[in-house]
Structure 1
Amino acid sequence: MAAPLRYALGLLVCCAIGSIYAPLIPAANLLFSALRHPDAWLSLSRDVQFLQALAATLTSTLAGVGGALVITLCAIATLWPSRRWRRLVSALPVMLAVPHIAFASGVLLLAGDGGWLYRLLPWLPPVSDRYGIGLGLTIAIKESAFLLWIAYAILNEGRLAEKVITLQSLGYGRGQCFRALVLRVVVPSLTLALTATLAWTLSTVDVALVIGPGNPPTLAVLAWQWLNQGDSIEQQKGALASLLLTALTACLMALGWLIWHRLRHRVFTPDGERRPTHYAVTGSLLAWSIPSAGILCVALLAAIASEAVPSMPTVIISLGLALGGSFFGAVICLLWLEWGLSRVTWLLYLPLVLPALPLAAGQYQLALIIQQDGTLLSVLWGHLLWIIPWMLFILSPAWQAIDPRAITLARTLGWSRSAIFRRVKCPQLIRPILAALGVGFSVSIAQYLPTLWLGAGRVATLTSEAVALSSSGIPRLLAAQALWQLLLPGAFFFLIALLMRITGRWRQGLR
């Protein structure tokens, strides 16, 4: 019975993954079919909005990804390793728990045209500008928290810290130690996180709708508007714009690799000359601006929202989708790690490094074919395409770190593969599973494009309502929607942290 059960579970998990990742096929077909229509190319090149949208997209992307990387590296160079670094890391969840739309809504209400800061200092330019600089700076502050969190996991290695302390004891400054040792480790290890940040920044629609620029918008918003048109030429223009976003992702990744390939041979090598560090204050200010921005966002939304509350059905739908998505995502990820095809696991990370727009369009095409658009089940299915890669990102390292001696011992006792999975592997992964549940919950809450398209306007979530209210001119309702979008992941992360603490007390080996 063991072998048939193993094959059945393997086939079941492969079918589940195949059904979730099936939109990759119509997405690729949508992109490549547009190449065969020269009229669409001509119409795209002649569109009066195209060049300005492309310029705003490149500016906001370079400012967002480059700014996030600069803030991350400055914080590491200034604070790591020290007690201040540990305090900063412990404060990062304040920003990590803030969804992108909630943070963008707070920035809009603070620094937008007519916001609090604008009324106090009317000579300051508003955050919305035609080149997307304000959008890029907003993304840089938000994404730097994510990059710092990944860097914390990378730098949690004692030998590297010992080398840095040894080099500092010889009189070298922090900057010299950072360039000689830390930079060589951090930048290559951040490749996947930077790629995911780049792809998301290039194709973000919801944050660009909230922050701007407005007319013309970024290329992702323009492609989304064209794909929503009934005219076939406009839809082909949207597909070409999505293909261009994919090409830009690949080109910027290649450019970043070339820059690093050139610079890594020029990093500092200890040569006996000691140079003090002069940017400690700047690095500290940049580092502590991240949790401060999260606290300010929460306080601002709470002050503006006052007693306004969002629609309770919207809150319930968002909560149900997030709970369902995180639960099913965890089950599918664990089954895949045990019974899936490990050789193709890298393919499951494609939604993190590809622009979201063609993927959401592919999901919508499949939903129309099977006539399942406008249902909660189809929206939940759409969320899983992004939930699963992020949960695998958390679970895969923990899965690979399981002690193989415990598995060998269980096999000598005659335990079956399913028994080892349930009684040996899963108990060792309780804390990573809880962390992955929190990540899956927050990813589901933040989804906009799959909710909008697969829901066909009939499934309203906190994210979709916040984007709709960003141009309504009603700050109280926008703040209430954004605040609740922030409170749900915050409460869930608090519950996860509590469960981790209880689990650590009950099972001392998992502390």
Structure 2
Amino acid sequence: MAASLRHPLGGLILLVMAAIYLPLLPAGGLMLAPAFSPDGWQALLADPQVPQALAATLTSTLIATLGSLFIALVVVAALWPGKAWQRLSMRLPCLLAIPHVAFATSALLLFAEGGEFYRLCTLCTPQLDRYGVGLGVTLAIKESAFVLWAIYAVLPEERLAQKMVVLRTMGYGRVQGLCWLVLPAIAPALGGVMLAVAAWSLSVVDVAMILGPGNPPTLAVLAWQWLTQGDADQQTKGTLLCLLLLGLVLLFAALGYVLWRGVKQTMPVEKGQRHPSAPSRTGALLGWLLPLAGLLSAAVLVVLSRTPQGDFGPATTSLSLGLLSSLIALVAILGWLEWGPQRYTSWVWLPLALPALPLVAGQYQLALYLGVEGHYFAVLWGHLLWVLPWMLLVIQPAWRGIDSRQVLIARTLGMPRWKRFWLIKCPLLIRPLLLAFATGFSVSMAQYMPTLWLGAGRYATLTTEAVALSSGGSTPVLAERALGLLVLTALIFALAAALSRLAGDYRKGLR
């Protein structure tokens, strides 16, 4: 750490990261302040909405977490290794590029009461969803693409693929290969990914407000409603709900760890028993349906949306916030990886593993203290707390994969550190940097709570407009806002893919 801080940029990067992550401190203080209040806990437990909200939260989170993991593992077992796995990795952006709010809006317009599905099927009647089953299924489909993408990023293809071919040649099945080879290789990274999925599913507000359940809502929506009220007692209950959500995240992490230990102990050993049967057809079908779900979502929004009427204010605000936050985060990440103190990087991932509500509350308290609440800069600063770790999640594996021999040769020849960074490392990271920029843009576009709270309602974005219209606005206008979200994000992903291919063609002779 000391060696990093000797460089002037090391101290500057540390200050930038501290400014972005500063809300972690007031967020912790806000949650701990009422934690020892018996009256607050008594009022929270006496509220009649809490038991049903807790049941809906646990149900939707379990469906989202276990469902996304199941879909991803079935697809990996069926398609990896091979050309079908490579084709799936190329099609996954069809679903990854769609923001959660746009995907949830298309599901709402299709399957909600009065939606297009029930208009076509007059004999079908929508069931009352008090436990958030529809919310969990929607999140499971959307998050399974992220889990698959994360597995694709950390799976050592060449080394394990050869072992899998040998295993299959000896007559062992795909599930046995998954248990013996794939899961042990990706378990550490997969554990962090699933913790992020569980934490996000527990604390998601915008998608839960769109898809329900409505009365009572999930714990995150209920806490959001209480925290935004002027009554101090209601705010105390909302803060205690944030603490409860944090406890649920820790509980899910502990259960996941115990479950993995149990699976490892009961995992079948190599006794020579062959089980050639495998869910290849199911996995292959899911591999086709996941990208198709993204295309279907886009088609629904295109059909139901109206022609834009000239109100481009929300789209302009969303675009500017997404571009600026991604660019700032990209510069900060590169500086952090090259000059930052790497020994204490675990706290960088906290926004992905903690419920979002207390973090937004901490940002709001700091904004009030600094007098910047309601300013554009405050909204931009609020987005960075989530944009930066998601982008780092994309860039870090590629950064660690840089061939150290090239850097060592340049250092031996006397090349300064900044030249090694600019002329050797950055060109090797063009593709991951472009993908990370598109990912950060998508994350920024999806931010609802920081935009609404830090902006004091003054900065309307496509996400805030879509969430507001989902509770009873015009269907064509709602579809138009969600389609705008989808189009902007898809354009950035397409541009990143085109530039990535152009860079690959330009540097083809250097391979």
Q: In the alignment, what sits opposite 1:474?
A: 474
State yes or no: 1:267 paired with 2:267: yes
Residue of structure 1 equivalent to 2:386: 386
Whether the aligned pair in 2 keeps the contact of 1:128 and 1:134 (CA below 8 Å) is no
Q: What is the aligned partner in structure 2 of residue 17 from structure 1?
A: 17
- Tell me the residue number matched to 1:313: 313
How far apart, CA to CA, are the structure 2 residues paired with 1:467 and 1:138?
16
Question: Which residue number in structure 2 is paired with residue 247 of structure 1?
Answer: 247
Q: Distance in 2 between matches of 1:438 and 1:446?
A: 13
By how many angstroms is 1:363 displaced? 0.4
Deviation at 1:432, TM superposition (A): 1.8
Give the distance between the partners of 1:311 and 1:282, measured in 2 at CA.
45
1:118 maps to amino acid: Y
Aligned runs of 1:257-336 on 2, under 5 Å? Answer: 257-277=257-277, 279-308=279-308, 311-336=311-336
Give me the whole-angstrom Cα distance separating, in 1, the residues matched to 2:423 and 2:239: 48
Question: Which sits farther off after the overlay, 412-421 or 316-325?
Answer: 412-421
Aligned to 1:98: 98
- The 1-side partners of 2:213 and 2:19 are apart by 36
Whole-Å separation in 2 of the counterparts to 1:29 and 1:379 = 22
Distance across 1 between alignment mates of 2:50 and 2:354: 21
Q: 1 CA distance for matches of 2:155 and 2:481?
A: 37
Deviation of 1:326 after TM superposition, in Å, equals 0.6
**Structure 2: distance between partners of 1:42 and 1:337:** 47
- For 2:460, the equivalent position in structure 1 comes to 460
* Distance in 2 (alpha carbons) for counterparts of 1:463 and 1:509: 43
Count of aligned positions: 509
State the Cα distance separating 1:439 from its structure 2 match: 1.0
Measured against aligned partners, the alpha-carbon deviations of 1:330-378 in whole angstroms (never above 9, x if no partner) come to 0011111122111111211110100100000100111111111111111
Contact 1:504 1:510 in 2 (8 A): no
Alpha carbons 1:62, 1:136 under 8 Å: kept:
yes
- Given the superposition, is the C-alpha separation of residues 399 and 366 from structure 1 closer, same or farther in structure 2, using an over 3 Å criterion? same
- Deviant stretches of 4+, over 6 Å: none
Q: In 1, Cα distance between the equivalents of 2:137 and 2:443?
A: 22
Structure 2 counterpart of 1:105, which letter? T
> Closer, same or farther in 2 for the Cα pair 1:147/1:241, shift >3 Å?
same
The whole-number CA distance in structure 1 between the counterparts of 2:282 and 2:502 is: 39
Q: What is aligned with 2:117?
A: 117
Aligned partner of 2:81 in structure 1 is 81
1:65 paired residue number: 65
Question: 2: CA distance between counterparts of 1:421 and 1:156?
Answer: 26
1:356-415 CA-to-partner distances (Å, cap 9, x unmatched) read 000001001111111111111111100000111111112222222223333333334433
CA contact (8 A) 1:92 1:145 kept: yes
Matched, 1:403 2:403: yes
TM-score w.r.t. length of structure 1: 0.96
Distance 1:405 1:177, change over 3 A: closer
After superposition, the Cα gap between the structure-2 partners of 1:310 and 1:220, relative to the gap in structure 1 and judged at 3 Å, is farther
Partner amino acid for 2:96? L
Q: Contact 1:202–1:245 at 8 Å: present in 2 too? A: yes
1:162 deviates by 1.6
1:74/1:287 contact within 8 Å kept: no
Give the aligned residue type for 1:304: L
User: Deviations for 1:409-457, whole angstroms, at most 9, x for unmatched residues?
Assistant: 3334433322322223222222221121111111111111101101110
Equivalent position of 2:357 in the other structure: 357
Distance 1:310 1:326, change over 3 A: farther
Shift, 1:230, TM fit: 1.0
What residue number does 1:337 align with? 337
Q: Report Cα offsets for 1:140-197 as digits up to 9, x if no partner.
A: 0000000011111233421211222212112222223323322333444311111111
Matched position secondary structure for 1:114: coil
Q: Which amino acid aligns with 1:328?
A: I
**2: distance between equivalents of 1:155 and 1:398?**
13
Q: Distance in 2 between matches of 1:57 and 1:233?
A: 23
Structure 2 residue ranges without an equivalent (≥5): none
- 1:280-324, CA deviations, whole angstroms, 9 ceiling, x for partnerless residues? 333333332211111100000000004245730111110000000
Q: Does 1:500 align with 2:483?
A: no
Q: Distance in 2 between matches of 1:510 and 1:228?
A: 56
Is the 8 Å Cα contact of residues 351 and 385 (structure 2) preserved in structure 1? yes
C-alpha separation in 1, matches of 2:13 and 2:4: 14
Cα distance in 1 for partners of 2:236, 2:46 equals 14
Give the equivalent residue in structure 2 for 1:173.
Answer: 173
Equivalent residue, structure 2, for 1:48? 48
* 1:444-498 CA-partner distances (Å, limit 9, x unpaired): 1111110110111001111111100101241101111001101111101111111
CA RMSD, aligned part only? Answer: 1.9
- Tell me, in whole angstroms, the C-alpha distance in 1 between the residues paired with 2:221 and 2:169: 52
Q: Do 2:96 and 2:146's aligned partners in 1 also have CA atoms closer than 8 Å? A: yes
Query: What are the residue-to-residue correspondences of 1:138-217 with 2, within 5 Å?
Result: 138-217=138-217
Q: Is the 8 A contact 1:6 1:339 kept in 2?
A: no
Distance 1:205 1:57 in 2: 11
Q: Secondary structure at the match of 2:33?
A: helix
Aligned to 1:38: 38
Specify the SS of the correspondent of 2:378: helix
The verdict on how the C-alpha distance between 1:264 and 1:404 changes in structure 2, with shifts beyond 3 A counting, is same
Q: Which residue identity is paired with 1:208?
A: A
Range with greater deviation from structure 2 (53-62 or 428-437): 428-437
Per the TM alignment, residue 509 of structure 1 is displaced from its structure 2 partner at its CA by 6.8
Distance change (3 Å), C-alpha of 1:125 and 1:166: farther
Question: What is the alpha-carbon distance in structure 2 between the residues aligned to residue 329 and residue 146 of structure 1?
Answer: 20
Instruction: Pick closer, same or farther for the CA change 1:472–1:431 going to 2, 3 Å.
Output: same
User: What is the CA-CA distance between 1:205 and the residue it aligns to?
Assistant: 0.2
> What is the distance in 2 between the residues matched to 1:342 and 1:278?
42
The 2-side partners of 1:99 and 1:463 are apart by 9
Alignment CA distance shift 1:5-1:364 (3 Å) = closer
Contact 1:309 1:480 in 2 (8 A): no
1:25 Cα shift? 0.6
The letter for the 2-side match of 1:495 is L
> Take 1:105 and 1:375, find their aligned partners in 2: how far apart are those partners?
28
Q: Any unmatched runs of 5+ in structure 1? A: none
**2:131 corresponds to 1:131:** yes
Going from structure 1 to structure 2, the CA distance change for 1:480 and 1:165 (only over 3 Å counts) comes to: same
The share of aligned pairs that are identical, in percent, is: 51
The alignment partner of 1:190 has SS state of helix
Distance 1:509 1:65 in 2: 44
Alignment-mate amino acid for residue 173 of structure 1: G
Q: Does the 8 A contact of 1:127 with 1:211 survive in 2?
A: no
Amino acid at match of 1:48: P
Normalising by structure 2, what TM-score? 0.96
Assess if the C-alpha contact under 8 Å between 2:5 and 2:11 holds in 1: no
